[in-house]
Amino acid sequence: MNNIKAKHYINVEHIAGPQNDFRISIDFAGNLILLTEKEVQKKYLHKIYHMVNGKINKIELPSVSEAFDFAQPLEENWLLVSARTDEEEGYLRNATLFDVQGNILKTFTFDDAIQDVQTTKNSEIWVSYFDENMDSGLRCFDKDGLQTFDYIDFVIQTGRKIPFIDDCYALNVTSESANIYYYSDFPLVKINKSGYEIFRKIPIKGSHAFAILNDVVLFSHGYDGSAVVYLYSLRDKKRKTLHTVNQNGEELKYDYAVGRGSKLFLIKDKDVYLIDLEVST
């Protein structure tokens, strides 16, 4: 088995200090976003650390009653989203738009059981869902929170040539297409302005993140949870298993990964590592 080196990128505590929790995401330009969470008197304080061109932009948000799981830029503002809603508690508007000073501009409803949120340079908001929400699997909203795309409608429009989503395991939105990989058949589907492409029988099961560059995809580990990634050619349909190591050549058995564009970030405890297909292939 060949090795692939992951470059150490950040340590969360070195940047943000001790936190109750944190989330890693990526913006449309490939920049890392660190969202931290601290619980104070049964409320949640969040900070966003946006890493652009070697600089860290910090945005402090006011305390809220529900924790946020996702942070994405939306024009000059920031969209914060909670994965869950609670109808019994009346908590349905699970997306809030803040300006850079932390002022609330508006709130949206994106429905329950959100797996991921990714915004684009053109202010599209792509939202994927896990299996507790069987009403779509994938939707797109405009900057005002109005739905512009629904995957169930899309499947029907294609004559059911692609399978419905039971659980959208991984989403990767680039400037060219929205790319998804999902349960139970685990195809990879590219959705773009001209239509779609479907790649069936992907020989990786259970991956929750991937990087993509042209016809090459780098999947995080799947159900096995090993210190590996999988390099897969959509053109040749060939898979290569790569053993993940740090810069010292030591095994990197990472906890989970986050991918967007050509970048796959691997998270191990409080350390974040990077594999970039632009550099590694």
Higher local confidence (pLDDT), 66 or 173: 173
Confidence of residue 1 (pLDDT cuts 50, 70, 90): confident
Q: Is the pLDDT of residue 92 over 90?
A: no
Contacts of 108 (CB under 8 A, 6+ apart): 93, 94, 95, 96, 97, 141, 145
Q: Is the pLDDT of residue 18 over 90?
A: yes
pLDDT of residue 93: 86
Confidence of residue 88 (pLDDT cuts 50, 70, 90): low
Confidence of residue 133 (pLDDT cuts 50, 70, 90): confident
Domains of the chain: 2-280 (2.120.10.30)
Region 12-21 average pLDDT: 96
Secondary structure (3-state) at 96 = strand
Nearest partner of 180 among 160, 203, 202, judged by Cα: 202
Q: Is the pLDDT of residue 79 over 80?
A: yes
Edge-first strand listing for the sheet containing 114-119: 114-119, 125-129, 138-141, 147-150
Summary mean pLDDT of the chain = 95
Kindly state the DSSP code that residue 206 receives in the 8-state scheme. Answer: S
Q: Is the pLDDT of residue 30 over 70?
A: yes
Region 60-67 average pLDDT: 94
pLDDT of residue 89: 64
pLDDT of residue 174: 98
* Percent of the chain whose pLDDT exceeds 70: 98
Higher local confidence (pLDDT), 9 or 224: 9
pLDDT of residue 70: 98
Provide the b/e sequence for 131-168 (b: ≥16 CB within 10 Å).
Answer: bebeebbbbbbebebeeebebeebbeeeeeebbbbebb
Q: Is the pLDDT of residue 91 over 90?
A: no
Q: Rounded CA gap, 24 and 113, in Å? A: 18
pLDDT of residue 90: 58
Q: Rounded CA gap, 230 and 220, in Å? A: 7
